[in-house]
Amino acid sequence: MAAANELNPTARFLMGPGPSDVHPRVLQAMATPMIGHLDPQFIVIMDELKQMLRELFRTRNELTFAVSATASAGMETCFVNLLEPGDEAVVCVNGVFGNRMSDIVGRCGAKLTRVDAPWGQPIDPAALKKALDGRRPKLVAVVHAETSTGLCQPLEEISRLAHEAGALFLVDAVTSLGGMDVRTDEWGIDAIYSGTQKCISAPPGLSPVSFSPRAVQAMESRKAANKVQSWYLDLGLLRTYWQGAKRAYHHTAPVSMIYGLHEALRIIFEEGLEARFERHRRNHELLRAGLEELGFEFVVAPEYRLPMLNAVRIPEPLEDAPVRKRLLEEYNIEIGAGLGEFAGKVWRIGLMGCSCTPNHVNMLLAALRQIQQDR
Amino acid sequence: MAAANELNPTARFLMGPGPSDVHPRVLQAMATPMIGHLDPQFIVIMDELKQMLRELFRTRNELTFAVSATASAGMETCFVNLLEPGDEAVVCVNGVFGNRMSDIVGRCGAKLTRVDAPWGQPIDPAALKKALDGRRPKLVAVVHAETSTGLCQPLEEISRLAHEAGALFLVDAVTSLGGMDVRTDEWGIDAIYSGTQKCISAPPGLSPVSFSPRAVQAMESRKAANKVQSWYLDLGLLRTYWQGAKRAYHHTAPVSMIYGLHEALRIIFEEGLEARFERHRRNHELLRAGLEELGFEFVVAPEYRLPMLNAVRIPEPLEDAPVRKRLLEEYNIEIGAGLGEFAGKVWRIGLMGCSCTPNHVNMLLAALRQIQQDR
């Protein structure tokens, strides 16, 4: 066969919706020599990882670990372990990822009730309250940080309503975790999942998840006939590997990915959570000011904007694909295209983890200014 | 919080059932700086990867790529895309992984017919023929290289019987691929999956899969009401990212894992498939001779032995766990424990990919000799 080329990708500045830039120490960790997934030394690394994830999720949940696949599999893990056929689920939808949750609910054979809001606007608690009226759903699910719109959903009121209806509260924290506060226990979250390639700034490939004792109980109370539809994501099996004195083989853990996430979490705690969140807010402000000066408008109202994912309408006469292409080819800067109804109209500019620095902001603004002047 | 320790695992020689030793070039590839999963340069890397996987699987199947999770998820991918509720599936079981297939068939809501053989013995085509009599199953599934027993299952007769019954032929090649011949097209295999951490010698975290045109057709002929139960593993969605002129976002691909697999495949084709298979046979012979001299007996009859996974009964007076512990702690050699009915009675010695050298064999034999003499 024709031999494939040596890997030689151009160095990029990753300012899209993820992956974000990865710290050299994390890249180095990825290259750590392999050890076995049942090696006592690896068990120690897993235990440290679980403890750091608990600190990051701000939870005491025993069942806190990383699913061996990307964030979308973390989403699926939460739904397939909690929902049984015929259960009711209420999903709040105001972007791509709420839609994806709804799709998965259907694949679980559960009954879906959607609470919709326009893209870029928060879910109205009153609408949720109405939807819950007379219902006893198994769970209420919502996206904390909607990566398709840049919206930050306030969670406390939604959580209260979910619990009043006797439901579990399930949250997507893929884009928020590591870049802003995620208070799993304080906010009454029963099941939460995230990804590694956003504000944690590790490579994509793992999904941190955490289940509250109530969620674990729901999982343990499944009817015997209703096995979790995914063997790979069955937490009842997975936790025999991640928990307990004796670790049983389930699947072969992605050792290098665990190395990378472990190092990324160490870096997060060296910086400190508060300092890290403040850095995300500060660089968001810098970006906002610069973009507004260039004539960009944000999709989301100020009080609901995410710091790490900035969705802006593409101002005339800039064209979507040609400008993104030029940013990538001339400046090596990647920004994100709009998804779904925002395709062609919106850009998504990420300031996540290692990609969240004043230098990133300044480079992008200068490049955009240059491109505008060239017209 | 108490900061986690710096990663500092001891260098091991990995001679268990996987992961195997990873080549320094692959480790280096894992540390390649991140680029976006939709970057045109990444699309080229994916295309090269697909082509190399086709060469390795010896197939022309267009739908050949790597699932973004470990080999067990590759197994699940094959079953959930091909089986619909109520379908019949025939699974050949003579070890842990045939059992796992059976479990997944149940989770698909399909009707299971098992064809069992004792662990360590091949599936008897006559038994399969009998099981197929009067049945029109959707698929017949079998494990090529049973990692729990070290058995190599001849596939051609099974394939013929499956196709005569109008079934698709599904094969687990997790442990065989990259270490011995796997002739997907010639052997009439319709769906096949593997892992990266065995004879390919990349880190665990991806699962190469390939679907024949017939399997693709079966997948496309699903009833509209029967969505694939896993969103993450739904090939109808996944292939919009891996195939075609315009690549659509599905999930964020594990970029670093793809880098690692790409480099591992390049190394495989530099060595050449025939030379690589011969190396596995030669070192297996060296190990066999040495182990027999030390009083070990193989679980599997000579004509059905895998070269890369050597299952041997633990001879008296050696004790399972203490000896494995000593091999790990004193010699930094990992070998595998027995699974299921072989627990405590059998060791599984891997000679996979980069772990398949005369030096590995000599080190292990010398260490075992030393441990025996110490008693």
Residue A349 CB coordination number (10 Å): 26
Closest chain B residue by Cα to residue A58? B1
Q: For residue B69, what is the DSSP state?
A: B
Closest chain A residue by Cα to residue B23? A33
Note the pLDDT of residue A172. Answer: 98
Spell out which residues of chain B touch residue A55, defining contact as CB-CB under 8 Å: 1
- pLDDT value at B273 more than 60: yes
- pLDDT value at B9 more than 60: yes
Task: Please indicate whether, in this complex, the C-beta atoms of A33 and B256 are within 8 angstroms of each other.
Answer: no
Which residues, at least 6 apart from A300, have a Cβ–Cβ distance to it below 8 Å? A120, A121, A149, A150, A151, A152, A306, A311
Can you give the pTM of this predicted structure? 0.98
> Is B18 an 8 Å CB contact of chain A?
yes
What's the CA gap between B62 and A303, in Å, rounded?
Answer: 48
Two structure tokens written together for B330 = 């004193």
Note the pLDDT of residue B245. Answer: 78
Residue A111 CB coordination number (10 Å): 17
Expressed in angstroms, the distance from the first to the final Cα of chain B is 46
Asked whether the beta carbons of A92 and A158 are under 8 A apart, the reply is yes
- pLDDT value at B159 more than 60: yes
Asked whether the beta carbons of B147 and B338 are under 8 A apart, the reply is no
Note the pLDDT of residue B171. Answer: 98
What's the CA gap between B105 and B99, in Å, rounded?
Answer: 10
> Is A70 an 8 Å CB contact of chain B?
yes
Q: Number of helices and strands (H, E) in chain B?
A: 12, 14
| Min Cα separation B87/chain A (Å) | 16
Instruction: Give the start-end residues of each E strand in chain A.
Output: 13-15, 63-67, 88-93, 111-116, 139-143, 145-146, 151-152, 168-172, 191-193, 207-211, 297-298, 309-313, 333-337, 346-350
Ramachandran quadrant class, A333 (left: phi over 0; alpha: psi -120 to 50; beta: rest): beta
Task: Please indicate whether, in this complex, the C-beta atoms of A36 and B104 are within 8 angstroms of each other.
Answer: no
> Is A317 an 8 Å CB contact of chain B?
no
> Is A350 an 8 Å CB contact of chain B?
no
Of the ranges B78-87, B243-252, B335-344, which one carries the lowest mean pLDDT score?
B243-252
Nearest to A22 among B3, B34, B72 (CB): B34
Task: Please indicate whether, in this complex, the C-beta atoms of B254 and A70 are within 8 angstroms of each other.
Answer: yes
What's the CA gap between A199 and A184, in Å, rounded?
Answer: 17
Asked whether the beta carbons of B140 and B132 are under 8 A apart, the reply is yes
In this prediction, the residues of chain A whose per-residue pLDDT falls under 50 are none
For residues B93-118, average pLDDT: 98
Distance, CA of B96 to chain centre:
13
For residues B64-77, average pLDDT: 98
Note the pLDDT of residue B244. Answer: 82
Per DSSP, the residues of A195-237 read -SSSTT-S-SS-EEEEE-HHHHHHHHTS-TT---S-STT-HHH
Closest chain B residue by Cα to residue A250? B72
Respond yes or no on whether ipTM tops 0.85: yes
Spell out which residues of chain A touch residue B14, defining contact as CB-CB under 8 Å: 34-36
Asked whether the beta carbons of A183 and A159 are under 8 A apart, the reply is no
Note the pLDDT of residue A1. Answer: 54
- pLDDT value at B1 more than 80: no
- pLDDT value at B229 more than 90: yes
Spell out which residues of chain A touch residue B107, defining contact as CB-CB under 8 Å: 227-231
3 state SS for A229-297: CCCCCCHHHHHHHHCCCCCCCCCCCCHHHHHHHHHHHHHHHHHCHHHHHHHHHHHHHHHHHHHHHCCCE
Asked whether the beta carbons of B175 and B200 are under 8 A apart, the reply is no
What's the CA gap between A13 and A332, in Å, rounded?
Answer: 6
Nearest to A37 among B19, B41, B48 (CB): B19
Which residues, at least 6 apart from A226, have a Cβ–Cβ distance to it below 8 Å? A84, A85
Domains of chain A in sequence order: 13-18+273-373 (3.90.1150.10), 24-268 (3.40.640.10)
Note the pLDDT of residue A248. Answer: 87
For residues B94-123, average pLDDT: 98
Nearest to B12 among A27, A39, A227 (CB): A39
Residues within 8 A of B (CB atoms), A 173-202 only: 195, 197
- pLDDT value at B197 more than 70: yes
Note the pLDDT of residue B145. Answer: 98
Task: Please indicate whether, in this complex, the C-beta atoms of B51 and A107 are within 8 angstroms of each other.
Answer: no
> Is A277 an 8 Å CB contact of chain B?
no
Task: Please indicate whether, in this complex, the C-beta atoms of A5 and B48 are within 8 angstroms of each other.
Answer: yes
Nearest to B231 among A33, A51, A107 (CB): A107
The reply to whether omega before B317 is within 30° of 0 (cis) is yes
| Min Cα separation A5/chain B (Å) | 8
Helix (H, G, I), strand (E, B) or coil at A114: strand
Asked whether the beta carbons of A352 and A18 are under 8 A apart, the reply is yes
